[in-house]
Structure 1
Amino acid sequence: MKVLIAYYSMYGHIHQMAEAVAEGVREVTGAEAILRRVPETLPLEVLEKMGAVEAQKSFAHIPVCTLEELAAADAIIFGTPTRFGNMCGQMRQFLDATGQIWMQGLLVGKVGSVFASSATQHGGQESTILSFHITLLHQGMIIAGLPYTFQGQMTIDEITGGSPYGATTIAGGQGQRSPSKNELAGARFQGKYVASIAAKLVKTH
Structure 2
Amino acid sequence: MTDIVVVFHSGYGHTQRVAQAVADGADAQLLAIDADGNLPEGGWELLAAADAIVFGTPTYMGGASWQFKKFADASSKVWFTQGWKDKLFAGFTNSASMSGDKGTTMIGLWTLAMQHGGQWTSMGMMPSNTKAAARDDRNYVGGYGGLLTQSPSDASPAEMSQGDLDTARAFGERIAEVARSRG
Q: Mark yes or no: TM-score above 0.5.
A: yes
Given candidates 158, 161, 165, the residue that maps to 1:184 is: 165
Given candidates 31, 36, 45, the residue that maps to 1:41 is 36
**8 Å contact from structure 1 (residues 7, 80) kept in 2:** yes
Q: What is the TM-score when the length of structure 1 is the normalising length?
A: 0.77
Is residue 2:24 matched to residue 1:23? Answer: yes
CA shift, 1:169, in A, is 1.8
Kept in 1, the 8 Å contact 2:11–2:35? The answer is no
* Alignment partner, residue 175 of structure 2: 194
* Structure with larger Rg: 1
Call closer, same or farther: CA 1:74–1:22 in 2, change over 3 Å.
same
Q: Distance in 1 between matches of 2:180 and 2:71?
A: 26
Letter in 2 for 1:140: G
RMSD: 2.1
Report the TM-score when normalising by structure 2: 0.86
- State percent identity of aligned pairs: 28
CA gap 1:162/1:184 in 2 versus in 1, 3 angstroms: farther
* Matched residue, 2:143: 163
Among residues 118, 128, 138, which one is paired with 1:154 in the alignment?
Answer: 128
Does residue 2 of the first structure (1) align with residue 6 of the second (2)? no
1:173 paired with 2:153, answer: yes
SS of equivalent to 1:19: helix
> CA 1:65 to 1:79, structure 2 compared with 1: closer, same or farther past 3 Å?
farther
Q: How many residues get paired? A: 174
Unaligned 5+ segments in structure 2 are none
Query: 1:14 matched to which residue of 2?
Result: 15
Secondary structure of 1:78 counterpart: strand
Query: What is the identity, as a one-letter code, of the residue corresponding to 2:78?
Result: I
Q: Does 1:95 align with 2:96?
A: no
Deviation at 1:140, TM superposition (A): 0.6
| CA deviation string 1:143-187 (max 9, x = no partner) | 1121225xxx22443344340022222121234473212111111
The 5 Å alignment of 1:76-155 reads 76-149=53-126, 153-155=127-129
Sort the Cα spacing of 1:64 and 1:176 in 2 relative to 1 into closer, same or farther, 3 A. Answer: farther
- Deviation of 1:96 (Å): 0.7
User: One-letter code of the match for 2:12?
Assistant: Y
Structure 1 residue runs of 4+, over 6 Å off? none
- Secondary structure, in 3 states, of the residue corresponding to 2:5? strand
Q: Which amino acid aligns with 2:3?
A: K
SS at structure 1 position matched to 2:94: strand
